[in-house]
A and B are shown apart, each in its own frame.
Chain A
Amino acid sequence: MVWVFLALMHLVLVNLFIWTNFENKETSGIYEYLRIYRDFSGCFRDYSYFAPNVANDTRAGFITKTEQETLHFLSFRAENEVVNTRYNNVISSGMRNPEVRELFSRSWATAIFGRDEKIQEVTVFAEAYLVPSIAEYRAGERPFWKVIYVGSFEKNKGEGFSKPQ
């Protein structure tokens, strides 16, 4: 019966985590311990997949410039579809909130700088795929990619840090 009690307590806590907007609760006191339990038990997110609405698809890419002014385009994609799903999540998490776009794109640009030391400048761009409603589609509108972010970062030789433009 002890195990039954523990199992029931666990399920009660799972309910608490998913129905009560637990993410925005206090971070101190009992909530701190509950949060640890939530993370350890895998309940760190609710299960509202594709809900209440389906968000726009996003994609990103990089234009790199070397010292010799050679331009290259790198897509933020991999050949592997399993990895692409993760890359897509990285892009959508980075671009969802306009306040953190700068931080995330800087991080992506840093990763690109690390790939080749000849790269002097990286331009990060991200686009959202806007799908018209069924009625709009029937009226002639078509889905299209809309640029939602562009940021350029230069390698700063002196300080070793990039600078957005």
Chain B
Amino acid sequence: MCNVVKEKRIQQVVEQISSFFLCPASPLPLGFFRIAIGLIALFLLVQLWPYLLPLYGNYGFIQWAILETGTNTWFPSIGKLYLLLEPLGFSPENCVFLIFSVYGVSLLGFILGIKTRVCAILVWFCHLSTVNSGFTSIYGLDTMLQICFFYAMWMPLGKSLTVFHFLGKRSTEPSAMANLSLRVLQLHLCLIYLNTAVAKMQGLQWWNGEAIWRALMQPQFSTFTYDWLASWPLITKGMGWSVLLIEFGYPFLIWPLKTRRIWLPAIIALHGGIALFMGLPLFSMTMIAMNISAFGWLRNSGFLGRYLPLHYFPRSLIFSNFSRRSNASS
């Protein structure tokens, strides 16, 4: 008797896990994710293009001889590509432009949804190589883009909002893989915010408001004058506490719909603030795109209304979909 109850319990847990991860979901948020991330990366590439050689060239500010010594053998880089292509007459400069050209063309294909998987693999490889060859210049934006491109290789990003869909191809049905992809993205975002919140909580500066003060007073980040904040220390303290609350609360309060209505706009506002007041718009846009893709589409079901809404532990939905499928196949 006890074993039967145990088995039932295990079965229930497995069912819950599988419905959480495998309940068919619309691939539309993933289409949005593909276009948003692709456009950000393409914009970044256009901005960096005139400075490719100082940033990534063999005789740029950090020469390859320095960069290559500290890198993993398996990590692709422009320097390693040059070693392969040198016998064919390629110069180091040619290799820099070659890899960024392939990156740009692949990004175009990725955004348009033409051979999405192939383009995603090329984009991932090129971005990884450029990250390695410009390791000293990278920051959060590059880390996030690399995560996105890694996911892009196996997520069904080409199942909606491609150029073919705009030319009349019908969107594909909700799929288990689309839901699994969204779940992984959601869980990864929770990890990101938990990690950054815990790290911030270990510093006194975030509790007493000095972190906000210091960040806004840095010439690198400051877009306006903030010295007036010294007269209002409670403002910086409040802002510091708000950042801690939003980031630490994210992994727990982004899931229930009621709190998500507060937390999603709050996190978007946080990144909007970073873009506006600290001059890091591309990083902020990447984070906003990831958040909207992962958690935003149910909230915006008005304009995404044609697609099935995503529920949590949607047992009725999963079973109705399975029965619909089995009816169709029979």
Contact = CB atoms under 8 A, between A and B. Distances in A.
Interface of A: 1, 3-4, 7, 10-11, 14-15, 18-19, 35-36, 39-54, 56-57, 59, 76, 78, 80-90, 93-94, 103-104, 107-108, 110-111, 114, 129, 131, 133-134, 137-138, 143
B191 A14 contact: yes
B229 A134 contact: yes
Contacts, number: 178
Given A4-B17, A46-B199, A52-B203, A11 B188 contact: yes
Contacts of A44: 131, 143, 146
A50 B72 contact: no
B136 A94 contact: yes
Main SS at interface, chain A: helix
Contacts of A88: 220
Nearest to A86: B137
A86 B195 contact: no
Contact of B191 (A11, A40, A143): A11
Interface of B: 17-18, 21-22, 44, 47-48, 50-51, 54-55, 59-63, 66, 72, 74-75, 128, 131, 134, 136-140, 143-150, 177, 180, 183-184, 187-188, 191-193, 195-196, 199-206, 209-211, 213-215, 217-221, 227, 229-231, 233, 236, 279-280, 282
A10 B139 contact: no
Contacts of B230: 134, 137-138
Interface class of chain B by DSSP: helix
A57 B220 contact: yes
A107 B195 contact: no
Given A39-B74, A57-B220, A90-B62, A45 B143 contact: yes
A134 B75 contact: no
A131 to B, nearest CB: 5
